[in-house]
Amino acid sequence: MSTSYFVPLSVTLVIAGILLPFWPLGALGVLLAALSGHPAVALICAAVLDLLWGVMPGFSQYYFFPAVLFALLGIVVRALSLRYVLEERSSHL
């Protein structure tokens, strides 16, 4: 199944998150790109959002790139899920 149409959808969500007064749309775009198997798109969008949004004050400032970390989390979740699904399928065959 092709997931290429998730790329424009993710980018649109990220742009909407910047331009519309609702930042979670941007985070949703990053998550969608990461979970649909487009890690490069997710990481680039996350880096742009991190530059625009900055970091939280206090101890959380040492995350430096929170949106990139969020994208990496999405990528890892997808990789682990795929691994689990493949293992389940191979055990059934």
Partner 1 sequence: MTTISRSKWRKRPPYRSIVVVLLFGVVLLSLGVWRGTFAGILWRVTEPVLHSRAFASSVIGSVTAQFYAKSALTRENEALKAALASSSLALLDRNLLAEENKELRERLGKAGATPHTTLASVIARPPASPYDTFIIDAGSDVGIAVGDLVFAGGASVIGSVSESYASTARVALFSSPGMVHTGLLRRQGGEAGDIPLTVSGQGGGTMRAEVPAGTKVSIADAVILTVNSLTLSGVVSHVERTEGNSFEVVYLHLPVNLFELRYVEVRRGEPL
Binding site for partner 1 (CB under 8 A): 18-24, 43, 47-48, 50-61, 64-65, 68, 90, 93
CB of 35 to partner 1, least distance (A): 18
The rounded distance, in Å, linking the Cα atoms of 27 and 83 is 25
The rounded distance, in Å, linking the Cα atoms of 75 and 31 is 9
CB of 5 to partner 1, least distance (A): 24
- Residue (9 or 47) nearer to partner 1, CB: 47
Structure token digits, residue 47: 């880096």
CB of 65 to partner 1, least distance (A): 6
Contact status, residue 2 vs residue 9, Cβ threshold 8 Å = no
